[in-house]
């Protein structure tokens, strides 16, 4: 055991006096005092509601039992957690989705004030006896999918919220300026305050607020902060960081609610942070029904970890990153945008490299008390090489497997230092490391296929493995710079923007542009004297800009320090203005003024589209339909969410696990690759469908209760292999039923657990249907997720594919070109995928179009009027509305 090295970035946070001076600048906008409660078997039976301001319709929402109204439209109040909610939705993600449904309409946009960030820790959360019991579940309407997203996160906030007296925190509305919410769980007060001076980036902000609200250094263990980061200002992939105080390192640690852009919504509401303080944690605060069951189950797992972890997964030493080399070995490590499943250079980023060179080992590192799995880890005093913190030594919380697979192999970067650098910046900027990696890999492949070029990327050479350029891309994204901002919107937006603005020169412009060089946009030249810049009537719509309140002086001020060197262009004519975002001016081709006037009349050169930065900026290029179709094949997103970092193309079950996922392709619903592809335990469609029913339900259950999935199967009892269904790890499942009974006081079984999850899972399916998705066509994956779409991919597994063609498809591959063979394999796999979808929908009680049947809703007790109304037109259209008198009442 070693004591941790203290990280040397303390002086960047500010002194105690400086931080308290920041606090003195806060203006309190609302305060609220609540009554203390005693938790009854895991529930407080009330929720905390905060609207941070703005006008919107709340008529459909549950009523506030008590409330106070502060300045600027801020409302703080309480709602009841009813028996109905507990019966139908259990808690955690179930409660989140319930409140979100009530808060939004079918057409609610992610940036509408009524969008609701709902955070709930679940009824088992906060117990200290069993590993992985400190999770919060977070939901809102996502900027990338426009659907409800759910994400789980460790850190101390969720348990503290519960111990303070609330099962749920709802954050609604939009504030006028940056605000901070402080919940004092011991003094039972809440305040909403302006927060003008604190940092935005989480590794600084978390420290500042821990210092600001703790009574002493020791008291920092009683503080948890939710924050996002600067990336949430401009990208759609902002995360929420939840802190906990690392007593050995004497610094905050960051755990992430990562998927779907919840941090972007948080910043859109102008919330800078939510801070909670609770002192007095102990194992009985949930008032459990039978503590003995908790103790016994907890100690059983603690002992397994103590005895077998080093022989099994080494979670205590390297956490989830232990599988980087395992995934490579089994052809599952996503490489070069999911083309391949491994790479000869993987040993350079194998787990032992991080263990030996970067990670501080042998430190109990759990994100909530009682986690003997302790899979968190950190690289201490890691020196950064790029960005605003270049040269500083920081604590990097990670790497998780996804960092290695995403920021490493998938973008072709086999340098552990770049992985850790990107890991750090993703966290502190508030960037979803998974989406960022997958969307970057997509941009890289577009670049290397020639679909976009160096001008489009603004000088960033996005070849595989160019770590410097990839980190620069992230800095551009965070700064809201042109191309970085496009990438930061996600693959679905990238595809649209690339199609509209990049690509080939249109025929009508060919003669005009012939022989003229493209402007090469290079690095910003900071030291260059800024030339006099005036609005150029040929390039900017001056009347519009002036009407918007911009004048020459403001433009000048905005481009200082951010001027692009524009080779070959006249300084006074080479810019296109962007309304509202003067962060960067975009270069245009070096064509003369006379020719500029030949641009389409009436096309202003400012953006009328908030999603993009140079709408209409280059009307002479557009992608061809073939190029657009090409992007669809390898853009690894579904429902607008980027795929997580496992190569799924050789496992049919996992292809379904991803594509049928309610929120988009994240493996937290099902990870069936080993069962399917390696161990061949689920050979038939029915077997796969059963697995794609049971495992998503079981994993949903973790999210209802406030539990982490890892202690379920990242350690296994030594006798597990002798179980009838070893993939389920029955002994650990029984542990969960024990702790459920221990807290709630009710016996649980596989059957009752599955129904509990089905209620929420089915609800979520109907929720996405309500929001415009949730039909079969929306579950269609990109072609690459099903198999090889290029010659290179085919050749990488030629022997396997040839054998498959001959033995399974019944076609002799001899004499066929690779292109022909790709077509044959892919046609077969699309057919297999469709058959799988049929089988899974059937098992889940859905129609062939993916709509939950009325009979299923009745069976699981979810025949709630709003749900029936949502599915009814679809069921009728498809011919699945049941006949019979017993159903007549549902047709009213």
Partner 1 sequence: MKKLVADSTKCTGCGTCEKVCSNAYYKVEDKEKSAIRVIANEQGGYSIAVCDQCGICKDMCSIMALKQGENGVVRLDKKTCVGCLICVGECLRDLMRYHDDLPTPFKCVACGLCAKKCESGALSIVEA
Site residues for partner 1 per CB under 8 A: 1, 128-129, 221, 247-248, 281-284, 291-292, 295, 298-299, 301-303, 305-306, 362, 364-366, 369-372, 374
Share in percent of the chain as helix, strand, coil (round to 5): 45, 15, 45
Distance, CA of 457 to CA of 444 (rounded, Å): 10
Q: How many CA atoms lie within 13 A of 719 on its CB side?
A: 5
Give me the least distance between CB of 302 and partner 1, in Å please.
2
Give me the least distance between CB of 360 and partner 1, in Å please.
14
Distance, CA of 511 to CA of 514 (rounded, Å): 5
Give me the least distance between CB of 2 and partner 1, in Å please.
10
C-beta closer to partner 1: residue 672 or 715? 715
Give me the least distance between CB of 293 and partner 1, in Å please.
9
Question: What is the CA 194 to chain-centroid distance, rounded?
Answer: 27
Cβ pair 163, 285 in contact under 8 A: yes
Question: What is the CA 890 to chain-centroid distance, rounded?
Answer: 37
Distance, CA of 635 to CA of 745 (rounded, Å): 48
**Could you say which DSSP state residue 576 is in?**
B
Give me the least distance between CB of 886 and partner 1, in Å please.
49
C-beta closer to partner 1: residue 215 or 749? 215
Angle between helices 750-770 and 685-705 (to 10 degrees): 90
C-beta closer to partner 1: residue 288 or 430? 288
C-beta closer to partner 1: residue 73 or 159? 159
Give me the least distance between CB of 292 and partner 1, in Å please.
4
Distance, CA of 583 to CA of 554 (rounded, Å): 12
Give how far Cα 633 sits from Cα of 495, 617, 787, 881, Å: 11, 27, 11, 35
Q: 255: closest CA among 397, 408, 420, 396?
A: 397
Cβ pair 91, 707 in contact under 8 A: no
Give how far Cα 179 sits from Cα of 29, 34, 164, 271, 278, Å: 9, 21, 21, 5, 21
Q: 712: closest CA among 728, 689, 725, 688?
A: 728
C-beta closer to partner 1: residue 305 or 519? 305
Give me the least distance between CB of 7 and partner 1, in Å please.
18
Cβ pair 208, 198 in contact under 8 A: yes
C-beta closer to partner 1: residue 114 or 365? 365
Q: What angle do CA 134, 327, 405 make, to 5 degrees?
A: 65
Alpha helix (H) residue ranges in 778-892: 791-796, 798-804, 818-844, 854-859, 865-878
Give how far Cα 745 sits from Cα of 286, 290, 292, 738, 741, Å: 12, 7, 12, 10, 5
Give me the least distance between CB of 749 and partner 1, in Å please.
24
Q: 665: closest CA among 336, 434, 321?
A: 434
Distance, CA of 702 to CA of 151 (rounded, Å): 12
C-beta closer to partner 1: residue 372 or 655? 372
Distance, CA of 379 to CA of 396 (rounded, Å): 5
Give me the least distance between CB of 4 and partner 1, in Å please.
12
**209 — phi, psi (to 5°)?**
-75, -30
**Could you say which DSSP state residue 510 is in?**
H
C-beta closer to partner 1: residue 289 or 567? 289
C-beta closer to partner 1: residue 284 or 686? 284
Give me the least distance between CB of 738 and partner 1, in Å please.
13
Q: 184: closest CA among 21, 23, 24, 31?
A: 31
Give me the least distance between CB of 297 and partner 1, in Å please.
10
Give me the least distance between CB of 748 and partner 1, in Å please.
20
Longest dimension (CA), the chain: 85
C-beta closer to partner 1: residue 128 or 762? 128
C-beta closer to partner 1: residue 370 or 813? 370
Residue 201 makes CB contacts below 8 A (sequence gap 6+) with: 229, 230, 428, 429, 430
Distance, CA of 719 to CA of 1 (rounded, Å): 30
Strands 641-642 and 637-638: antiparallel
C-beta closer to partner 1: residue 225 or 294? 294
Give me the least distance between CB of 37 and partner 1, in Å please.
20
C-beta closer to partner 1: residue 342 or 370? 370
Give me the least distance between CB of 369 and partner 1, in Å please.
5
Q: For residue 852, what are the β-bridge partners?
A: 846
C-beta closer to partner 1: residue 370 or 788? 370
C-beta closer to partner 1: residue 28 or 306? 306
Give me the least distance between CB of 363 and partner 1, in Å please.
9
Give me the least distance between CB of 313 and partner 1, in Å please.
17
Give me the least distance between CB of 247 and partner 1, in Å please.
6
The alpha-carbon radius of gyration of the chain (Å, integer) is 27
* Coil vs helix vs strand at 274: strand
C-beta closer to partner 1: residue 286 or 444? 286
Write the secondary structure of 589-637 as one string of H (helix), E (strand) and C (coil): CCCCHHHHCCCCCCCCCCCCCCCCCCCCCCCCEECCHHHHHHHHHHCCE
Other C-beta atoms closer than 10 Å to the C-beta of 838 total 14
C-beta closer to partner 1: residue 307 or 603? 307
* Coil vs helix vs strand at 227: strand
Strands 75-80 and 251-257: unpaired
C-beta closer to partner 1: residue 313 or 337? 313
Residue 555 makes CB contacts below 8 A (sequence gap 6+) with: 533, 535, 577, 582
**Could you say which DSSP state residue 360 is in?**
P
Give me the least distance between CB of 366 and partner 1, in Å please.
6
């Amino acid at each position: 055991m070693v004591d941790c090295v203290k990280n040397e970035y303390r002086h960047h946070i500010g002194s105690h006096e400086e931080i308290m001076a920041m606090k003195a600048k806060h203006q309190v906008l609302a305060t609220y005092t609540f009554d203390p409660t005693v938790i009854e078997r895991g529930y407080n039976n009330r929720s905390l509601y905060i609207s941070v301001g703005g006008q919107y319709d709340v008529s459909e929402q549950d009523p506030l039992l008590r409330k106070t109204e502060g300045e600027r439209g801020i409302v703080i109040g309480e709602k009841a957690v009813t028996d109905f909610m507990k019966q139908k939705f259990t808690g955690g993600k179930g409660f989140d989705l319930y409140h979100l449904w009530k808060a939004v309409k079918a057409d609610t946009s992610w940036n509408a004030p009524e969008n609701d960030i709902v955070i709930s820790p679940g009824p088992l959360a906060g117990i200290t006896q069993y590993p992985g019991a400190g999770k919060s579940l977070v939901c809102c309407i996502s900027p990338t999918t426009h659907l409800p997203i759910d994400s789980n996160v460790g850190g101390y906030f969720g348990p503290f919220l519960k111990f303070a007296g609330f099962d749920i925190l709802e954050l609604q509305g939009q504030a006028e300026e940056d605000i901070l919410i402080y919940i004092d769980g011991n003094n039972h007060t809440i305040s909403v305050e302006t927060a003008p001076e604190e940092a935005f980036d989480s590794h600084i902000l978390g420290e500042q607020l821990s210092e600001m609200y703790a009574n002493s250094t020791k008291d920092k263990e009683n503080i948890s902060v939710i924050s996002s980061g600067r990336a949430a200002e401009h990208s759609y992939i902002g995360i929420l960081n939840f802190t906990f105080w690392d007593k050995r390192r004497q610094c905050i640690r960051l755990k992430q609610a990562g998927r779907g852009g919840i941090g972007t919504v948080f910043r859109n509401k102008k919330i800078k942070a939510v801070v909670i303080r609770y002192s007095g944690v102990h194992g009985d605060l949930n008032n459990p029904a039978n503590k003995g069951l908790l103790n016994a189950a907890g100690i059983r797992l603690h002992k397994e970890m103590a005895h077998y972890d080093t022989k099994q997964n080494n979670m205590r030493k390297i956490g989830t990153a232990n599988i980087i080399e395992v995934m490579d070995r089994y052809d599952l490590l996503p490489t070069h945008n999911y083309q391949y499943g491994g790479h000869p250079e993987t040993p350079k980023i194998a787990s032992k490299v991080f263990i030996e060179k970067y990670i501080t080992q042998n430190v109990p590192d759990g994100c909530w008390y009682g986690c003997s799995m302790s899979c968190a880890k950190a690289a201490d005093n890691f020196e950064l090489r790029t960005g605003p913190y270049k040269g500083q030594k920081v604590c990097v919380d990670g790497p998780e497997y996804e960092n290695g697979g995403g920021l490493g192999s998938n973008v072709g970067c086999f340098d552990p230092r770049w992985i850790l650098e990107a890991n750090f910046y993703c966290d502190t900027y508030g960037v979803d490391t998974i989406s960022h990696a997958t969307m970057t890999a997509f941009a890289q492949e577009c670049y290397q296929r020639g679909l976009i070029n160096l001008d489009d990327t603004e000088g960033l050479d996005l070849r595989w493995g160019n770590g410097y350029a990839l980190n620069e891309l992230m800095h551009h994204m965070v700064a809201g710079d042109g191309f970085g901002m496009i990438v930061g919107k996600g693959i679905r937006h990238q595809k649209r923007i690339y199609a509209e603005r990049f690509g080939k020169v249109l025929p009508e412009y060919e003669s005009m542009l012939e022989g003229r060089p493209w402007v090469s946009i290079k690095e910003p030249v900071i030291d260059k004297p800024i030339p006099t810049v005036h609005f150029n009537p040929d390039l900017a719509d001056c009347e519009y800009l002036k009407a918007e309140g911009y004048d020459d002086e403001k433009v000048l001020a905005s481009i200082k320090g951010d001027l692009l060197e524009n080779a070959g262009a006249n300084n006074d004519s080479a810019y296109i203005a962007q309304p509202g975002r003067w962060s960067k001016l975009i270069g245009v081709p070096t064509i003369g003024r006379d020719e500029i006037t030949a641009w389409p009349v009436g096309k202003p050169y400012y953006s009328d589209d908030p999603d993009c930065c140079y709408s209409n900026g280059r009307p002479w290029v557009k992608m061809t339909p073939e190029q657009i179709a090409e992007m669809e094949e390898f853009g690894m997103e579904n429902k607008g969410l980027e795929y997580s970092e496992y190569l799924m193309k050789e496992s049919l079950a996992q292809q379904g696990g991803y594509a049928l996922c309610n929120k988009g392709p994240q493996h937290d619903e099902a990870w069936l690759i080993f069962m399917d592809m390696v161990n061949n335990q689920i050979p038939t469609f029915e077997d796969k469908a059963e697995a794609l029913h049971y495992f998503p339900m079981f994993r949903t259950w973790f999210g209802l209760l406030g539990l982490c999935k890892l202690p379920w199967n990242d350690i296994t009892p030594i006798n597990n292999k002798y179980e009838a269904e070893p993939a389920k790890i029955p002994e650990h499942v029984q542990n969960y039923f024990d702790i459920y009974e221990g807290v709630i006081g009710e016996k649980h079984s596989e059957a009752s657990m599955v129904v509990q999850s089905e209620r929420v899972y089915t609800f979520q399916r109907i929720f996405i249907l309500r929001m415009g998705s949730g039909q079969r066509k929306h579950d269609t994956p990109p072609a690459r997720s099903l198999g090889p779409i290029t010659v290179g991919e085919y050749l990488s597994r030629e022997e396997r594919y040839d054998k498959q063609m001959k033995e399974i498809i019944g076609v002799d591959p001899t004499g066929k070109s690779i292109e022909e063979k790709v077509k044959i394999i892919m046609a077969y796999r699309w057919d297999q995928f469709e058959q799988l979808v049929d089988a899974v929908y059937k098992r889940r009680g859905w129609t062939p179009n993916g709509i939950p049947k009325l009979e299923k809703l009745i069976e699981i007790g979810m025949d709630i009027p709003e749900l029936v109304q949502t599915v009814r037109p679809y069921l009728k259209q498809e011919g699945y509305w049941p006949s019979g008198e017993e159903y007549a009442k549902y047709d009213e």
